[in-house]
Chain A
Amino acid sequence: KQEVTQIPAALSVPEGENLVLNCSFTDSAIYNLQWFRQDPGKGLTSLLLIQSSQREQTSGRLNASLDKSSGRSTLYIAASQPGDSATYLCAVQGGNNRLAFGKGNQVVVIP
């Protein structure tokens, strides 16, 4: 059974600092890895999807890397802003299109 772990569970950073969020998974037989953002009281917003054959994806201030063989992904958010405060979820897709989620990184960016 796929296990997804996200570290740290929670973190606070001052505005302007770079954020580094880590995700690890136990079964490297994945199709892709997806990072989501969840705001309080809201659903999930897809941020980035990395195919299993890719090493990284970038979108604006966000960059996600994938090391499939070691079962790790990192989400970098450059020059954090208060609007980046949210919970970030990592999910890996295996067979039958199922997503296995981590518990999330709860981020607070302090103005």
Chain B
Amino acid sequence: SAVISQKPSRDICQRGTSLTIQCQVDSQVTMMFWYRQQPGQSLTLIATANQGSEATYESGFVIDKFPISRPNLTFSTLTVSNMSPEDSSIYLCSVGQQVNQPQHFGDGTRLSIL
């Protein structure tokens, strides 16, 4: 399976600032996704990162708050903008090749907002 690297692995940020999380895959993948895991909760899909076009956001998530880029088939970024303590979560990147094949996840980025 693909090797997925996320950076940073963790960060502590000030309220009102923005942070960009990177997801690098060691091979070309068809699908890339960004998830959020709030404390004590399960994973929630933020958006599907589309190569060369705007991301597809899930209900409750907007581009102004979570801008996403995917310039090629191996790399994507998620920015968490104008952060507040409610944004303290683990953010995870996942990749997949085809429907009915497993999705694989990076180790996540643990974000704390003061």
- Check B102 against A46 for contact (C-beta < 8 Å): yes
Nearest CB on B from A52, distance (A):
8
Place the interface of chain A in its size category.
20 to 34
CB contact list, A23-73 vs B, under 8 A: 31-32, 34, 36, 41-46, 49, 51
CB contact list, A53-111 vs B, under 8 A: 89, 91, 93, 96-99, 101-104
Given contacts A89-B43, A96-B48, A103-B41, contact A42 B99 (CB under 8 A): no
Place the interface of chain B in its size category.
20 to 34
Nearest CB on B from A50, distance (A):
10
Main secondary structure of the interface of B (DSSP, over half): strand
- Check B99 against A101 for contact (C-beta < 8 Å): no
- Check B99 against A31 for contact (C-beta < 8 Å): yes
Interfacial chain B residues near A32, Cβ < 8 Å: 100
- Check B105 against A44 for contact (C-beta < 8 Å): yes
Interfacial chain A residues near B94, Cβ < 8 Å: 44, 99
**How far does the alpha carbon of A109 sit from the alpha carbon of B90 in the complex, in Å?**
25
- Check B96 against A102 for contact (C-beta < 8 Å): no
- Check A44 against B45 for contact (C-beta < 8 Å): no
CB contact list, B85-114 vs A, under 8 A: 92, 94, 96, 99-108, 110
- Check B107 against A43 for contact (C-beta < 8 Å): yes
Interfacial chain A residues near B103, Cβ < 8 Å: 34, 46, 93, 97, 99
- Check A98 against B1 for contact (C-beta < 8 Å): no
